[in-house]
Amino acid sequence: MNALVAPEPLPVALSAEKSALLARLAEGLAAEELYWVAAWSAARAGQAQRGVRPVDLAPVDAPDAPRLTILYGSQTGNARRVAEQLASRSESAGLPVRLVRADGYPQRELAKETHLLVVISTQGDGEPPDDARGFVEFLAGKRAPRLAGLHYAVLGLGDSSYPQFCAIGRQLDERLAQLGAVRFAPLGEADVDVDAVAAPWSAGALEQARGVLGRAAPAAVRSASVHALPTRHAHSREQPFAATVLANQRIVARDSERAVHHLELSLEGSGLRYAPGDAIGIWPTNPPALVAQWLEALRLDGAQEVTHQDRTLPLAQWLSRERELTRLTRAFVAAHAAAGGHADLAHVLRKESAAPFAELLASHQPIDLLRRYRADWHAGELVAALRPLTPRLYSIASSPRAVGEEEVHLTVARVEYAAFGVPHWGAASAFLAAQEEDARVPVFIEANERFRLPADDARDVIMIGPGTGVAPFRAFVQERREAGARGRNWLVFGNRHFTRDFLYQVEWQEALQSGALHRLDLAFSRDAAGKVYVQDRLREQGRELYAWIEGGAHLYVCGDANRMAKDVHAALLDIALAHGGHSPESAREWLADLLTQGRYARDVY
């Protein structure tokens, strides 16, 4: 039998007077009403910690009252942002609405749901976001109910530079129909330029929702949401803040195979606030050398004025600041194949086999396509065919308790390599690595509610972060040190070489000496004959790791989603088998339960 872990104790006890008030409030409430009070209280507490607008205490709809439930699953924040916008527009239109994250949705309510709108992203190789794994598995499983009384719509978010574009959105849309539900809007599929599809789709879906749901009686009486809408700062994704660069320091040896930079930015005057676990969004500018490569390959004049969607800019500026140049998309591959009449390139896009397209994405940037498959492009057609440049998210590597609320740190691995005989760059990493002190960088804060330190500071914390995945754990250790947390901190870090790539080595050593870090396990994959990775260290220390987790520890993983995170997940399953007496099935359930509890959190990309 597995050891039972007690619920986290409340950090603050209620007075006798408040306890009596709470008891009187709860007296006579039905189960669904008690659930609503608990959800509202949890949301209000979380929002207060993050400095956002509290939930309105609106009357709860009767169980059979029609309402629109907007459910979202989000890994990087895009699906959450779209869902919040949909909820706001629904309320403005007088529709009774409930906004809920997928892992906070009571699955038993699905059978009684009448109007459901799902906004969900697809990660990596066709996987759901972590906060929606339980919902996706439930819906796909045998326990999913018949849904003959449900009207629904699904908006999928994805990245067409991956073969499994919007796979989870498609899966949910098809499964809901199989269970007897009726679409009130067709499936929407949004690429990285989310708003280009999400905005018109949302308008159409809400118009259809009004038709099947009808307007709420008075618009002022709204369903309470278990998720509060955030307070809008003056600066946001749409209106970034120009942060001043305070420091930009290379933190690996000169002979390291990859340059890694530690940047410190000033948020003074921005009004932006963040917590450990959040990300900072960066609006990059493409490398000038890459823009020059494009103009040369296409034999185009960078000074040529191009008008697109009522904006007129020189072509060079479109390519530098407005268009994505480093990531291939299915749409651009198709457009380039058509422009040059390349049947062999068009063949790669055929959906009966995803392997050729996946191989192309893994080995080529768009510039390689331009050189390998020649085509004549007109400047205006090129701008229209390219995807808009989008921001990049970086895990924040500082705690505001330690560095001050108006300063933020990040850790950036510069992407720069040679392929097909020419240099290649990453857009944001090259942009950031080149910034000098006093330069300005457009930034915004992206909250990550699922990647938070435990509310009970007596809980132990296990942090697994190879390479730049260690960034948020620098913030965690700083935060726990400044807060005087009582729990232990265990860091598992990996990279290629000890002498070249030990990021923040001095800080970790000082943290060990001061007691801010209780254990540090290292995996340097290129320092021995056999490669050793963080997942190997986990297996080596499996007995103690399992004991920490069973004792209530919270487990965090940050870094590469496609390989490292999967390998770590597999190692955790092996540890449960070897040291917890689990069967393969119960080991999977054990990890899934940790994920549902919020005690297994991943910030993967």
Whole-number Å distance between alpha carbons of 506 and 510:
6
Q: How many CB atoms lie within 10 A of CB 2?
A: 13
Burial of 435 (0-12, 13-18, 19+ CB in 10 A): middle
CA distance 178 to 185: 16
- Is the pLDDT confidence value at 210 over 50? yes
CB 481 within 8 A of CB 514: yes
Lowest mean pLDDT among 90-94, 424-428, 493-497: 90-94
| Beta carbons within 10 angstroms of residue 347's beta carbon | 12
Q: Which of 370, 310, 306 is nearest to 337 (CA)?
A: 370
Strand locations in 381-538 (E): 392-395, 407-413, 416-419, 422-425, 440-446, 461-464, 489-495, 519-524
pLDDT, tens digit, 9 for 90 and up, residues 131-187: 999 999 999 999 999 999 999 999 999 988 787 889 999 999 999 999 999 999 999
pLDDT at 212: 78
Can you tell me the distance from the alpha carbon of 473 to that of 411, in angstroms, rounded to the nearest whole number? 11
Q: Is 456 exposed, middle or buried (0-12, 13-18, 19+ CB in 10 A)?
A: middle
Confidence of residue 550 (pLDDT cuts 50, 70, 90): very high
**In which element (H, E) is residue 280 found?**
strand 279-282
**Cβ(91)–Cβ(58) under 8 Å?**
no
pLDDT for position 352: 58
At 173, phi and psi to the nearest 5? -60, -45
Half-sphere exposure of 447 (CA within 13 A, CB side): 18
Distance CA 475, CA 274 (A): 11
Q: How far apart are CA 185 and CA 86, in angstroms?
A: 14
Task: Classify 7 as helix, strand or coil.
Answer: coil
CB atoms inside a 10 Å sphere around CB 118: 25
Provide the mean pLDDT of the chain.
88
Cα 523 to Cα 563: distance, rounded to the nearest angstrom: 16
Q: Give the residue among 232, 223, 217, 231 at the shortest CA–CA distance from 56.
A: 223
Tokens of 96: 């009774």
Is the separation of the CB atoms in 424 and 452 below 8 Å? no
The total number of residues shown for the chain amounts to 605
Q: Give the model confidence (pLDDT) of 271-307 as tens digits.
A: 999 999 999 999 999 999 999 999 999 999 999 999 9
pLDDT surpassing 60 at residue 19:
no
Region 368-388 average pLDDT: 96
Cα–Cα dist 150/142, whole Å: 18
Neighbouring CB atoms inside 10 A of 36's CB total: 18
Task: Using the predicted structure, report yes or no on whether residue 269 has a pLDDT greater than 90.
Answer: yes
pLDDT digits (tens, 9 = 90+) for 315-342: 999 999 999 999 998 889 999 999 999 9
The rounded distance, in Å, linking the Cα atoms of 85 and 70 is: 11
CA–CA gap between residue 170 and residue 166 (Å, rounded): 6
Residue 48: predicted pLDDT: 45
Structure tokens at 541: 């220390």
Q: Which pLDDT value is given to residue 545?
A: 98
pLDDT per position as a tens digit, 553-600: 999 999 998 899 999 999 999 999 999 999 999 999 999 999 989 999
Domains and CATH numbers, the chain: 16-213 (3.40.50.360), 241-284+391-446 (2.40.30.10), 288-385 (1.20.990.10), 461-604 (3.40.50.80)
Q: How far apart are CA 38 and CA 60, in angstroms?
A: 13
Report how far residue 37's alpha carbon sits from residue 25's, in angstroms, rounded to the nearest whole number: 10
**In the numeric block, which tokens belong to residue 229?**
């809408």
Angle between helical axes of 564-580 and 542-550 (0-180°, round to 10): 80
Query: Does position 21 have pLDDT exceeding 70, yes or no?
Result: no
Q: How far apart are CA 429 and CA 432, in angstroms?
A: 5
- Print burial letters for 285-321: b (CB count within 10 Å at least 16), e (below 16): bbbeebbebbbebbebebeeebebeeeebebbbbbbe
Q: For the chain, how far is it from start to end, CA to CA, in angstroms?
A: 35
pLDDT digits (tens, 9 = 90+) for 419-431: 999 999 999 999 9
pLDDT in tens, 39-52: 445 444 444 444 43
Place of tokens 């002979």: 255
pLDDT in tens, 510-535: 999 999 999 999 999 999 888 999 99
Say if CB 597 and CB 605 are below 8 A apart. no
Is the pLDDT at 270 greater than 50? The verdict is yes
Q: What is the DSSP letter of 318?
A: I
> Is residue 449 pLDDT above 50, yes or no?
yes
Over residues 495-519, the mean pLDDT reads: 97
Identify whether the C-beta of residue 202 lies closer than 8 Å to the C-beta of residue 170.
no
Output the CA angle 179-185-188, nearest 5 degrees. 95
Q: Rounded to whole angstroms, how far apart are CA atoms 5 and 314?
A: 62
Q: Which residue has the higher pLDDT, 447 or 227?
A: 447
Of 288, 434, 422, the C-alpha closest to 365 is 422
Which of 229-238, 390-399, 516-525, 591-600 shows the lowest mean pLDDT across its residues?
229-238
Q: Quick one: pLDDT at residue 351?
A: 67
Report helix angle 194-213 to 78-92, nearest 10: 40
Cα distances (Å, whole numbers) of residue 355 to 164, 217, 240, 362: 11, 53, 38, 10
Take residue 468 and report the two structure tokens written for it: 């730049």
Q: Which helix (H) or strand (E) holds 75?
A: none
What is the b/e burial string over 77-114, where b = at least 16 CB atoms within 10 angstroms of the residue's CB? bbbbbbbbbbbeebbebbbbbbbbbbbebeeeebeebb
The half-sphere exposure of 153 on its side-chain side, counting CA atoms within 13 A, is 25
The pLDDT of residue 549: 98
Compute the distance between CA of residue 287 and CA of residue 359 in angstroms, rounded to an integer.
25
Instruction: Specify whether the backbone of 467 is left (phi greater than 0), alpha (psi in -120 to 50) or beta.
Output: left
Element (H, E) at 65: none
pLDDT at 233 over 70: no
